Amino acid sequence: MSRVAGVYETVVYAVDVVAAARFYSDVLELSPLEEPTELSAAFRLDDRGVFLIFDPVRASAVGRRVPAHGATGAGHVAFAVEEGGLEAWAGELRRRGIDIEREITWEEGGRSLYVRDPAGNSVELVEGEAWPVSLRDATD
Amino acid sequence: MSRVAGVYETVVYAVDVVAAARFYSDVLELSPLEEPTELSAAFRLDDRGVFLIFDPVRASAVGRRVPAHGATGAGHVAFAVEEGGLEAWAGELRRRGIDIEREITWEEGGRSLYVRDPAGNSVELVEGEAWPVSLRDATD
């Protein structure tokens, strides 16, 4: 059995997909894979992962090519930024008038800041590690 | 400004976190980072990304160290498996009596299968690409 290598698609939900997509493209500078629609928006990350936004109502309709899904309420996603880059991000977000909800320095050495996307999802930017590398590491 | 490098944390929600965690560790063979609790479970992927399961009620409580979040309804996540590995995964899932809800061959050459985790989240295993590499590629 081949092991699962990593996450390929990460999803958050937004009733107004286009407004949420604008946040991820304009503020976080993610690279769109297609023009956002009322159903979905798709972005390709530099590590080749795909980040998706779906309208939970349209995505949960039956009869789509893919199985139905769709969640409501605030989701959460964390994006990795390069070491030393978080401070510049904090300045840029403040310059744009975006409220930084929290900043955390982790026991593992990493640092995070948290903002909200227009749909209310909790969006974290992290530099370094917020988690132990492995379970062994965690229990040492 | 440093670019966002990739997704660091991907989240799905489950009211019974422990049952959902068992699916991801036992069936998908993800590596736990800690013993699952009623609040959360954490897994480290081979590409160093972190996959998290949260109870939406406990995670949305105010006063936690991190900002509140928590969604209800079926979420979606896709995991990458190595090229040529999907067929073995299909056989293994069937052997375990897990219903494969759908199988799709993508225009981009990749292939996916879809199952449900115990919380009803739509879980996709993908080999190859299900998305264009970039927007330019998408519009060629």
Q: Residue A138: its pLDDT value, please? A: 59
Q: Is A110 left (phi over 0), alpha (psi -120 to 50) or beta?
A: beta
Does the distance separating the beta carbons of A79 and B4 come in below 8 Å?
yes
Which of B11, B67, B89 shows the shortest C-beta gap to A77?
B11
Distance CA A118, CA B139 (A): 28
The tens digit of pLDDT for each residue in B77-102 reads 999 999 999 999 999 999 999 999 99
One-letter amino acid for residue B6 of the chain: G
Q: Across the A/B interface, how many CB contacts are shorter than 8 Å? A: 237
Task: List all residues 6 or more positions away from B10 whose beta carbon is below 8 Å from its beta carbon.
Answer: A7, A10, A77, B49, B50, B51, B52, B77
Please give the mean pLDDT across all residues of chain A: 95
The CATH H-level (homologous superfamily) assignment of domain A1-62 is 2,3-Dihydroxybiphenyl 1,2-Dioxygenase, domain 1 (3.10.180.10)
Tell me which chain A residues have a C-beta less than 8 angstroms from the C-beta of B82.
Answer: 2-3, 5
Tell me which chain A residues have a C-beta less than 8 angstroms from the C-beta of B6.
Answer: 45-49, 79-80
Which of A42, A65, A71 shows the shortest C-beta gap to B74?
A71
User: Among candidates B59, B54, B37, B61, which has minimal Cα distance to B119?
Assistant: B54
Q: Residue A2: its pLDDT value, please? A: 83
Tell me which long-range contacts A97-100 makes (C-beta under 8 A, separation of at least 24). A98/A27
The tens digit of pLDDT for each residue in B22-73 reads 999 999 999 999 999 999 999 999 999 999 999 999 999 999 999 999 999 9
Tell me which chain A residues have a C-beta less than 8 angstroms from the C-beta of B56.
Answer: 73
Distance CA B39, CA B17 (A): 7
- For the entire predicted model, the pTM comes to 0.96
Domain segments of chain B as ranges: 1-61, 74-140
Q: Which of A1, A3, A7, A40 should one mutate to test binding to chain B, selecting the residue with the greatest count of B CBs within 10 A?
A: A7
3-class secondary structure, A133: coil
User: CATH for B74-140?
Assistant: 3.10.180.10
Low-confidence ranges of chain A (pLDDT < 50): 140
User: Among candidates A99, A100, A125, A123, which has minimal Cα distance to A110?
Assistant: A125
One-letter amino acid for residue A79 of the chain: F
The tens digit of pLDDT for each residue in A29-53 reads 999 999 999 999 999 999 999 999 9
Distance CA B5, CA B35 (A): 29
The CATH H-level (homologous superfamily) assignment of domain B1-61 is 2,3-Dihydroxybiphenyl 1,2-Dioxygenase, domain 1 (3.10.180.10)
